[in-house]
Amino acid sequence: QVQLVESGGGLVQAGGSLRLSCTASGLTLDDYAMGWFRQAPGKEREGVSCISWRGGTTYYADSVKGRFTISRDNAKNTVYLQMHSLKPEDTAMYYCAAADGWVASPLRAFAYKYWGQGTQVTVSS
């Protein structure tokens, strides 16, 4: 059974940093592209970042470019999202997701097969 478990969310002031982690079980991480998504109340789920299944390519939403960094440690079966210069508009539930192999649309939710339960990020102004 595949499980993705996110951690690292919390309350932070604007301008602060957080690092989210997503640890996978039941799959071999290096066979999957891994993505981070977020969803704020009343809004659609938004693709934030993706790292390719071989780890050589990363993708970011325009809204987070230059502030967020995605990385993966296949030995630990864990993917990370380092977030700097956080803004109140980054407040959302953050989800990690896994997609089999190469992904044509890395920031689109429909491309992903497995999802975690989410971790809340709240940025105060």
Task: Of 25-34, 39-48, 65-74, 109-118, give the lowest mean pLDDT range.
Answer: 25-34
pLDDT at 13 over 90: yes
Say what the pLDDT of residue 15 is: 98
Phi and psi at residue 75, in whole multiples of 5°? Answer: -65, -30
Say what the pLDDT of residue 29 is: 85
List the 18-25 sheet strands across, edge first.
3-7, 18-25, 78-83, 68-73
Which DSSP state fits 66? T
- 44: its two tokens: 């659609």
Say what the pLDDT of residue 54 is: 76
Express each pLDDT in 59-70 by its tens digit: 999 999 999 999
Express each pLDDT in 45-63 by its tens digit: 999 999 998 767 999 999 9
Task: Of 44-48, 89-93, 100-104, 111-115, give the lowest mean pLDDT range.
Answer: 100-104
